[in-house]
Amino acid sequence: MADGGPQSRRSTPATLHDVAREAGVSLATASRSLNGSARKVNEEYRDRVLAAAAKLAYTPNLSAQAVARGTSTTVALLVADIADPYFSSIAAGVVGAAGDDRLIVTMAETKRDAERELELVRAMRGQRPRVMILSGSRIIGDPNAVALEAELTAYEQTGGRAVFISESDLPFRTLPLANRAGARDLAVELQSLGYRRFAALTGPESLRTAHDRIAGFSEGLAASGGLLPDDRLVRSAFTRDGGYDGMRRLLEAGIGDTQVVFALNDVMAMGAMSAIRDAGLEPGRDLAVAGFDDIPTVRDVTPRLTSVRMPLERIGEQALRLALDDEADAASARAASADVSTEVVIRESTPRLGA
């Protein structure tokens, strides 16, 4: 029988001790070479360790490392809806930044359910991630807030770091987003284009993001004497289908002299445009539409969608950097100075009136 070499004769997985012995280095040097230690290892020793690990088909025991360190090399990212380009863009930023620090990202979907979010945080605590990022909008008056705070406090006491994206009342590192300011700027820009009569498609009243965006939009209108009538504010799911349903209800009730519809995110806006077409009207010609977030897709729809640009990938990057800052004061400074400002992008879905 042919000799398959040391790897084929081995009946049990190679250990770190085996790698150190094969490389002729100490156990500590082997560990630092393979596990991303902050302490620098002599390049020759590191090459010997890597060669030995490859020869022995060594695989690190990540669970054991997590127990020993108190944390693992993973980043846990919670998103509301993985199919929503808003969250996939944030995830891309987190993944890119994590790669720079040799961290691995795991992701779970909360489905905008506060109770499910709490259950996921509990489950992820057991995996000892180094960082936990909660990217979904907060729920106003969330009955699970006290329990969530307790879970995250216990998680941080074991060495982890929790970060919220968007506004949060909980005492953890938070990367605030300019939802209110961006919507306010959009209202001002639309009025400068000649629009005076508005409707809006928004999410559930308890959703903090929806609350902040509609409040900012109303403020922007009021600054020039404009108004968003209550009977032109339709609440629906914060999704493409929610936008379609909300727009359909608005059309069935009669849009009257409404000139432009503000959908509180881009996927709702795209659903709204489909409903407008199904009603025999043309978006941008018969009824203008604007969204929020400026996800990549809106540049390819017809007409191209006016939106409020949020630097979503940069937001993901900044959230991870915020978590990795060792000092709370440094983290607070990073959050305060983070460049996550918004920009109104006018496109063909809101042409200048009278042009």
Q: What is the identity of the amino acid at 159?
A: G
Nearest residue to 243 via CA among 180, 197, 293, 193? 293
Residue spans in the chain of domains classed CATH 3.40.50.2300: 73-177+313-324, 179-309
Whether residue 202 contacts residue 235, with contact meaning beta carbons closer than 8 Å, is answered with: yes
Tell me the per-residue pLDDT of 169-227, one tens digit each, with 9 for 90 and over. Answer: 899 999 999 999 999 999 999 999 999 999 999 999 899 999 999 999 999 999 999 99
Tell me the per-residue pLDDT of 219-236, one tens digit each, with 9 for 90 and over. Answer: 999 999 999 999 999 999
Fold for 5-60, please state it.
434 Repressor (Amino-terminal Domain) (1.10.260)
Whether residue 96 contacts residue 153, with contact meaning beta carbons closer than 8 Å, is answered with: no
CATH 3.30.2130.10 fits 73-177+313-324, yes or no: no
DSSP string, 145-168: HHHHHHHHHHHHHTT-EEEEES--
Confidence at residue 53, expressed as pLDDT on a 0 to 100 scale: 83
Cis link prior to 303 (omega < 30° from 0)? yes
Residue spans in the chain of domains classed CATH 1.10.260.40: 5-60
Confidence at residue 169, expressed as pLDDT on a 0 to 100 scale: 87
DSSP string, 56-105: TT----HHHHHHHHSS-SEEEEEES-TTSHHHHHHHHHHHHHHHHTT-EE
Confidence at residue 286, expressed as pLDDT on a 0 to 100 scale: 96
Is residue 6's pLDDT more than 80? Answer: no
Tell me the per-residue pLDDT of 241-284, one tens digit each, with 9 for 90 and over. Answer: 999 999 999 999 999 999 999 999 999 999 999 999 999 999 99
Confidence at residue 45, expressed as pLDDT on a 0 to 100 scale: 85
Fold for 179-309, please state it.
Rossmann fold (3.40.50)
Average pLDDT value for residue range 82-103 = 93
Tell me the per-residue pLDDT of 15-38, one tens digit each, with 9 for 90 and over. Answer: 888 888 989 988 888 887 776 555
Higher pLDDT, 339 or 274: 274
Question: Could you tell me the pTM of the whole model?
Answer: 0.79
